Structure 1
Amino acid sequence: MALAQHDLPPTLYPEAAAGGYSRIDGTVAFYSRVVALLGPDDRVLSFGAGRGRFVEDPVALRRHLQDLRAHAGEVIGLDVDDVVLGNPTLTAAEVITIGEPLPLEDDTIDVVVSDFTFEHVQDAVWAGRELGRVLRPGGWLCARTPNKWGYIGMAARAVPNGLHDRVLSVLQPQKKTEDTFPTAYRMNTRRALERCFPSPAFTHHSYLHDAEPAYAGTSTAAWRLFQALHAVTPPPLRSMHHVFVQKSPTGG
């Protein structure tokens, strides 16, 4: 979760004064690895590209890392919401329908990037099939999504979708209503991801990660509480999946 420098309690993250981000910043960790996989001529699919809200990120490094056009040859954005058509960070954009084939030919995408989208996918079988189909042999799927069994995933599933806007308006008042969507959590465990992208056609290099507790609001005491929670949380219960899956160079 991207946070402005002023959102980070300086007593807990003093390093944020040097560049605006913490040592455990989830966006920096995820996109640094994505950028390391990209080549200047690569064709990238941004799956669930949305409106490109990262342009509002106050931290320059995070904006640069998330601007995939700066690191690849072409960035195609697909989303079920027509807001993607106004996304200024894409080379091309198209609205898609769940259950229908993606408007891309087989084996034509070098890297798929999907940031906080998998938790909203209602049809995991369709998503796995279509993303795997368009990815070229040897290409990479990169996704960031909450762990179903982490505290964020469990809290989100405990709150009915109809109340998500109201709850997030308290926990994350800076998040806009148009950036909140119903959740399904059908691609949010390692087992579910391995079903969507099965061996030997795909090789998994994913890991679980705990970033700053953005949902703690502005209370330093709450941030300390979440820091303590992170310190004792077993690895399988960490809050975020950083998904890195490579398609077999032979195509499976």
Structure 2
Amino acid sequence: MARIDPRLFRSRAMSESVLPYAAPGWAVAMRRLTTYLSQDFLGGPRPWKLAWVVNFQKAGTFVFLGALIGYYHNTSTAAWIYLAMHGSYGLIWIIKDLAFPDPSWQVKVTIGGGINAFASVLAWYWVFGWLLISGASQPDYPLPDAVWFCLCISLCMLGCAIMIAADAQKYFTLRLRGGLITDGMFRYVRHPNYLGEIMIYGSFALMVWHWLPAVVLAWVWLGLFAVNMAMKEASMSRYPQWAQYKRRSWWLIPGLL
């Protein structure tokens, strides 16, 4: 098997430190492309950590959405709920990063790579809020507004809890021992942290109720998340207990996927 460049495994959205035994070719190719675009683009000095780029967007979301509400004079219930959901999630991420940072986010990136990482993914998340608050999206929800808001808020809160619990378990467990994590949040689902983030951003898209967030999330979930999970599973296959763990667990959703 050809030797794989270890730089392909340097970030959280791209996050395993152990080289996989049988990573799918499509996942390796996609990882190589996204790693170059987000970390190595145009070459040159590496003055920034990838975490700084991500945290800038996360921490700035509450301020950005609040400024949109003021600029467009949109004080609707939907606008305030969206600010509470997406803005608070960004602050939750910052708290999580301070409490148990993912070491893979600490990789240094080129200026071009950092700008690319922001422009190709992170900035688009701000567009979600702009669509709703500016009035570019006029959502006609399939359920009464109060019921729809309840659904979106519940999905966001549950997603945050799942993501944080999974990341915390992974962080503190791996500080004590290596190997597979097959209990707790990982007992039935092999990628609960990604499940949590899918639920969170899915709730934002449901609040906006516009085609553009669906396109952005399709790119992120298929182009990044699916690749990461495929690479992670290839890496975990090196452990003797992997086959048994895979048989009794699910990729993302117990009983479905």
Relative to the length of structure 2, the TM-score reads 0.33
Q: Which has the higher helix share?
A: 2
* Structure with the largest fraction of strand: 1
Report which structure shows greater RCO (CA 8 Å, sep ≥6): 2
- Output the TM-score relative to the length of structure 1: 0.34
In our comparison, the structure showing a higher alpha carbon Rg is 2
